[in-house]
A = this chain, B = another copy of it.
């Protein structure tokens, strides 16, 4: 690997001149510029970004912290963030917190030690207040944190639209089925939006919330969602008046729809609305509320770069969601 010195020597100029040429700074005679460029080619010279960052105290690396990567929401987000970084001349240091608070903190320390220019964070901290006066530029995704800019989708509106879709399909007794999430997760807003909309229409809205522990089992032993399906089937048997279901995540909905015991049950006749807009919803013809995941990623990168550049940034950026109607609300209920 050749260095700036090699180039300078070979071109018969000083390192300062080479540096100026790389950075388009100062006045350079056309002759030397040509010469230096030629030598750079010959030596296959690539400036050492580490040394540069050390000197300028400004790297072009952005850190992204996600709870996990192998989940459609996050892989789409990561994909979009990578693309946006690339377009803007940044690189992506990707970190997974494994949904563990301790590891999330560890990742932030690591990113700081690696002198990233800024951090994109999908936090799973119960108390994210600690980030309020963080040293590095920080942007939160899918989570509002006091004191730092956030990019979220409009969950309340999403919940409302989900209710509306069900109502339009003729439902009068909808069921809200989802994980019991803490209030600080944006997801809780879609529950509220749904409830609000139902209340607004004078409908009684039932709720069946499973715990995080139930979900863990689903992820592991019960990958096909048999346990959850049992829960739901039993509930539906006890409450036969229910005539439509809002399942608050597409992946969860997919597992339920595909579960063995659902095939013959009343479940398969009911209008269903999912949430997220994942690919699997398209496959299963599931009506869903689509989150603008890619746009969220891109927006977050833009905001972060603005912050890195010292420009003002809005504290909240809330992107619209969109109803995507498919067979699951059209099958003539």
Contact = CB atoms under 8 A, between A and B. Distances in A.
Contacts of A47: 113
Interface of A: 1, 46-51, 53-54, 59, 61, 68-72, 74-76, 78-79, 82-83, 86, 91-96, 98, 109-110, 112-115, 135, 223-224, 254-255, 258, 279-280, 282-285
17 contacts: A46-B113, A50-B54, A50-B114, A68-B79, A69-B75, A69-B79, A70-B76, A75-B78, A82-B96, A83-B96, A86-B96, A91-B110, A94-B94, A223-B282, A224-B282, A258-B284, A280-B283
Contacts of A74: 75
Q: Which of A53, A279, A280 counts the most B-chain CB atoms under 10 A from its CB?
A: A279
Contacts of A59: 50
A46 B112 contact: yes
A79 B92 contact: no
A124 to B, nearest CB: 16
A284 B258 CA distance: 6
A61 to B, nearest CB: 8
Nearest to A48: B115
A75 B70 contact: yes
Contact of A115 (B49, B94, B280, B285): B49
A83 B223 CA distance: 21
A79 B70 contact: yes
Contact of A51 (B54, B71, B223, B258): B54
Nearest to A47: B113
A21 to B, nearest CB: 16
B93 A93 contact: yes
B96 A93 contact: no
A95 B91 CA distance: 8
Question: Which 7 residue pairs across A and B have the least CB separation, nearest first?
Answer: A75-B75, A70-B79, A69-B79, A46-B113, A258-B283, A94-B94, A70-B76
A48 B55 CA distance: 12
A12 B61 CA distance: 34
